[in-house]
Structure 1
Amino acid sequence: MSENKGQLHAGHVSFAFNLESYVIEVHHLEPLSATGERETKIEMLISLCPTCHRIAHLRSTPYSVEEIKGIRGG
């Protein structure tokens, strides 16, 4: 999980593959549906592992990075 806005960073790996790279997903800090925008600034994006990205979207207002850390026990 990353707290570095606009930077690619993998803070943990939730599962392993026999790949030479990690799987990450990009999460909008402000959902596009909330802003009505179709473009976003890179500062408003963070990288999350697929598991954390799914956790973020378990409710209509996405969980914050701090909330996800609490859910994951970290």
Structure 2
Amino acid sequence: KQGKASCGVARQYTGSAGKITNCQIGVFAAYVSRHGHAFIDRALYLPKEWTDEPARLKAAHVPSDVSFATKPK
């Protein structure tokens, strides 16, 4: 991902690349047991630099009630 138009793209650590690079991060919640697994919810992680720029959020059509949260939250 390059540029400033793709929602949530920033230089940040990504486990799949194992380094800091331009990327989008998705946060997923899943249920896993010996009987099976299922995705419960998902969200696009927005870095602080994104949530600090209301015009950028509006241009990317991010809902107005979205604010910064750490990945664990």
TM normalised by structure 2 equals 0.27
The structure number with the bigger radius of gyration is 2
Greater helix proportion:
1
Higher RCO (CA < 8 A, seq sep 6+): 1
TM-score normalised by structure 1 residue count: 0.27
Greater strand share, structure number: 2
